[in-house]
Amino acid sequence: MEIQSPYLVFIGDARDQLAAKTGQGIVDWRPERALGQLRLTGCGADLGIPELTVGEAAGQGAKTLVIGVVSPGGVLPAAWTAVIVEALRCGMDVASGLHTRLSSFPEVADAARVNGRHLFDVRHADRPFKTGDGEKRPGKRLLTVGTDCSVGKKYAALVIERELRGRGVDADFRATGQTGILIAGSGVAIDAVVADFISGAAEWLSPAAAADHWDVIEGQGSLFHPSFAGVTLGLLHGSQPDAFVVCHEPTRATMRNVAAPMPSVEAVIDQTMSAGRATNPEIRCAGVALNTQHLGEGAARALVDETAARLRLPVSDPVRFGMANLVDALLKRF
């Protein structure tokens, strides 16, 4: 699919900043594509880019209305269809990363047809996948895993890929979620793949490569999350990572959208090692990425140092401090 930019990023009535993480990811990693944002009354998020109406965005050359929100179950609220139809009538395409297909709303499908515009359901793959076979393939792979969903797995993977490339290492970011796909331009939304084919889709996403090539694979969910553990496990088995990085948000008491307590970083390391050995007996933890956005600078640095000393692993906050120390160790160990 070829999604044209610039984008008008629609974040609707997102309840908080995390709910607008698709839009935030575009702004952080592809700011040149984000012309402005459109928010509804009661929106609890702000991407920090110009506020535009559909008409204003169209007048300034916006090509695509991008749904910049994630929601439990990937549901697209029916109340948003009026904005989507207006964008189609103003000459924009529409791209969504939600599970609900845009064309499932008759008024949206009709507006796209009448106005000759395209509907992009980024979360739905346009090809079939085989079941995974678990066969070892050449090349090196790193997977980001999490203590929870929405803890920074995508950002950690993007920072690691950028650090590797900056050192002249052949590396690719492999997107497994709707935001990553909009950033990278390609990928597979793993959580929309039929369960039997998740590991096969992960194998397809990170194919055989040169011995010194690194695929840096965006993780999804958490092995401990009651809602998403199945997706996480299939991705782990299919990606066959040589190395994994645990991503953790230290201020949370419970996991996102459920009452389950947050697991420890140590528990995630143990569980990932145990499950990952099914397809790569040599799997190892490469380090920890802490999301310290809710801590002050001093507290963040102290937590990084304490965690590194406790686990005897490289630890950093990818956004705040970069991942040079982790990549240093990665290139020495693998």
Per-residue pLDDT at 1: 61
CA terminus-to-terminus distance, the chain:
35
The answer to whether the beta carbons of residues 188 and 127 sit under 8 Å apart is no
- What is the residue-level pLDDT of the chain in tens, covering all 334 positions? 678 999 999 999 999 998 999 999 999 999 999 999 999 999 999 999 999 999 999 999 999 999 999 887 788 999 999 999 999 999 999 999 898 999 999 999 999 999 999 999 998 887 899 999 999 999 999 999 999 999 999 999 999 999 999 999 999 999 999 889 888 878 999 999 999 999 999 999 999 999 999 999 999 999 999 999 999 999 999 999 999 999 999 999 999 999 999 999 999 999 999 999 999 999 999 999 999 999 999 999 999 999 999 999 999 999 999 999 999 999 999 9
CA distance 327 to 69: 31
Peptide bond just before 31 cis, omega within 30 deg = no
Write the burial class of residue 170 (CB in 10 Å: 0-12 exposed, 13-18 middle, 19+ buried): middle
Whole-prediction pTM: 0.85
Q: What is the DSSP string of 236-282?
A: HHHH--SEEEEEE-TT-SB-TTS-PBPPPHHHHHHHHHHHHTTT-TT
CA distance 165 to 215: 11
Per-residue pLDDT at 236: 98
